[in-house]
Amino acid sequence: MTSIEQLLNFSNPIFKSYVFWTGVLVIKTLGMSLLTASQRFKTKTFANPEDLMSPKLKVKFDDPNVERVRRAHRNDLENILPFFIIGLLYTLTNPSAFLAITLFRVVGIARIVHTLVYAVVVVPQPARALSWFAAYGATIYMAVQVVLTAAF
Amino acid sequence: MTSIEQLLNFSNPIFKSYVFWTGVLVIKTLGMSLLTASQRFKTKTFANPEDLMSPKLKVKFDDPNVERVRRAHRNDLENILPFFIIGLLYTLTNPSAFLAITLFRVVGIARIVHTLVYAVVVVPQPARALSWFAAYGATIYMAVQVVLTAAF
Amino acid sequence: MTSIEQLLNFSNPIFKSYVFWTGVLVIKTLGMSLLTASQRFKTKTFANPEDLMSPKLKVKFDDPNVERVRRAHRNDLENILPFFIIGLLYTLTNPSAFLAITLFRVVGIARIVHTLVYAVVVVPQPARALSWFAAYGATIYMAVQVVLTAAF
């Protein structure tokens, strides 16, 4: 299990797990747009004049419910998007299957929990901090392994 | 047409189309920085004290023209960046060439239209909503196919 | 050196360089979260009610030190994330090793310098503008090469 033909292959359980969680997290991240839109319509908070559905409305940028979802969405961009590329490169370093699949699951589940406790039902800290850190730590670990593999 | 050697190959029209539209959308997304800069200089709106070119200027964060381009740029980050990875993984699922190339074209053209009607010439809704949704729907479809391929 | 087996291989110095700088830049970008957190605690600036550690604090969105780090972080998302995919696709176009490795180094070093002069020690312009442009120009060049390879 060392050639690219064997690594980037759906019969490789590491690659399969990477692809599964990447697909799930793409759907989850894209879902934030619907969550934002639903909050915008619920609170009638629109950022562009052409979006206003009534002449009585004005553009608004400070609704706390809209802004909360937008912060969660930005947090996804900051944390999930780097995982997409580093998870792929980590797969190419031919890691232990058990460790790699565990790391992908940690990132996938932790980021779903992060969204739930941040933007769906607000749960007191440290729920968000812990879920954020679980995915962050796993991603940093993979990135360090990737750098070490490429450096030596 | 199932080995990685055949899939990630410029003689594979699906891969060629994916690479073409990804390159185009990288250039388009990076172009938003120049559009932002041009609006910043035109309206003398700068976010950092060290950017002020005259002692009479102050930092400013609320120019509507600058903020509009920045919202369009952020929308690119939210929608185009996930496409980059999911389009690549979708290519690896060995999809129908006709469907895959159509989906890549939809994403590419819809996102260019989205920028034009959002940040270049403001066109009334539903122009922006429709162009946004076309790329969004195509990306979600690819992500679902990727998850299904990896799950079974 | 033209098959995917030879291109996506740690014995290919171009791929090795791409993977190294991508790993370094993932760590650098993720590091912005710690820099933001450190500024948040230092200035007691929190964006969510559940993050407030004392009943005397209120949510705050306009601390200049926090906002500066957040702007630098967003600039990373705008510029570094597109590099991750375009650097990989550029590697697949089988470029000159000297040119490719130079471009990856320019992007890697320029983006580290950009963070240092923007968010660590504020250096007068044009330090930030130049470091931003170096990485931007290199990424645009790679994207144009990728588009040309896929288009013909």
The string of pLDDT tens digits covering residues B44-95 is 999 999 999 888 999 999 999 999 999 999 999 999 999 999 999 999 999 9
pLDDT in the model for residue C53: 87
Low-confidence ranges of chain A (pLDDT < 70): 1
- For residue B81, give the nearest of A76, C82, A131 by alpha carbon: C82
Contact B81 C86 (CB under 8 A): no
Predicted TM-score (pTM) of the model is: 0.96
Rg (C-alpha) for chain C, rounded Å, is 19
pLDDT in the model for residue C3: 86
Torsion of CA A119, A121, A125, A128, to 10 degrees: -40
Q: Average pLDDT of chain B? A: 96
- Residue C46: is its pLDDT beyond 90? yes
The string of pLDDT tens digits covering residues C28-37 is 999 999 999 9
Q: Average pLDDT of chain C? A: 96
pLDDT in the model for residue B1: 46
The ipTM, to two decimals, is: 0.95
- Residue C1: is its pLDDT beyond 70? no
Q: Average pLDDT of chain A? A: 96
Class of the domain covering C10-151: mainly alpha
Which of the residues B29, B48, B61 would you substitute to probe the C interface, choosing the one with the greatest number of C C-beta atoms within 10 Å?
B48
Task: Give the whole-angstrom CA distance, residue B34 versus residue B14.
Answer: 31
- For residue A128, give the nearest of C37, C10, C76 by alpha carbon: C37
- DSSP string for residues in B136-151: HHHHHHHHHHHHHHHH
The string of pLDDT tens digits covering residues C59-107 is 999 999 999 999 999 999 999 999 999 999 999 999 999 999 999 999 9
| Percent of chain C surpassing pLDDT 70 | 99
The string of pLDDT tens digits covering residues B26-41 is 999 999 999 999 999 9
Question: Which of A4, A71, A82 faces C8 most closely, judged by CB atoms?
Answer: A4
- Residue B2: is its pLDDT beyond 80? no
The string of pLDDT tens digits covering residues B96-114 is 999 999 999 999 999 999 9
Contact C33 A136 (CB under 8 A): yes
Task: Give the whole-angstrom CA distance, residue A67 versus residue B124.
Answer: 24
pLDDT in the model for residue A1: 47
pLDDT in the model for residue A2: 74
pLDDT in the model for residue B3: 86
pLDDT in the model for residue A53: 87
Find all residues with CB under 8 Å of C86, minimum gap 6, and list them: B22, B23, B26, C139, C142, C143, C146
pLDDT in the model for residue C44: 95
Answer yes or no: are the C-beta atoms of C106 and C135 closer than 8 Å: yes
Counting as contact any 3 or more CB pairs under 8 A, the partners of C are A, B
pLDDT in the model for residue B53: 87
Find all residues with CB under 8 Å of C113, minimum gap 6, and list them: C127, C131
Chain B residues with CB under 8 Å of A23 CB are: 86, 89, 143-144, 146-147, 150
Task: Give the whole-angstrom CA distance, residue A69 versus residue A76.
Answer: 11
Contact B33 C136 (CB under 8 A): yes
Q: Decide if B59 touches A, using CB distance below 8 A.
A: no
Greatest distance between any 2 Cα atoms in chain A: 64
Chain C residues with CB under 8 Å of B19 CB are: 89, 92, 146, 149-150
